[in-house]
Amino acid sequence: MNFTFFLLPLSVIKSASPGSDSDGSYLLLNGIKIYRLHLVGTVINLDLDEDKGSGYLILDDTFSSVLVHFQRPLFKYFENIGKGDMVEVLGTVENTDNGVVLSLNNIKKINLERYMYNKLECIKNLQELMHGI
């Protein structure tokens, strides 16, 4: 079974086996291929490079972090998002020589209640994944 959307703790993502096939890059966890990720965390670094037309952020969930990159068309999302904000991101997995990077598709700022709800979903999804879906 292949998932294209999954909410997991970042530390688990770091321990996954990277791979790729005709559908793109993926993370292999307990026999499941994950191509796209829906994650929550805090923006601990944000860089928008107007000259190059690209940017990146580092998303942290207290236990681990992941690099998320994006191009100029997504700069509009960062008018109200900055360092220290809690966010939900949706992105495509990219496996690089330096590890897993997320290519941003969407991002939104969230409040503490939404953050806590998503953290509970992460735990539930992790339990399901480890016990075989």
Q: What local confidence, expressed as pLDDT, does residue 19 receive?
A: 92
What is the tens place of the pLDDT at every residue in 57-85?
A: 999 988 899 999 999 999 999 999 999 99
**Rounded to whole angstroms, what are the CA distances from 80 to 6, 10, 29, 56, 72?**
25, 24, 34, 16, 16
pTM of the model as a whole: 0.86
Q: Is the pLDDT of residue 1 over 80?
A: no
Which pLDDT tens digit goes with each residue over 88-117? 999 999 988 888 899 999 999 999 999 888
Beta-sheet pairing, 65-71 with 99-109: parallel
CATH fit for domain 2-126, picks 1.10.10.10, 2.40.50.140, 3.40.640.10, 3.40.80.10: 2.40.50.140
Residue 124 or residue 131, greater confidence: 124
Q: CA-based Rg of the chain, rounded to a whole angstrom?
A: 14
- What's the pLDDT tens digit per position in 2-26? 565 667 888 878 788 999 999 899 9
Residue that wins the pLDDT comparison between 129 and 5: 129
Domain boundaries, the chain: 2-126
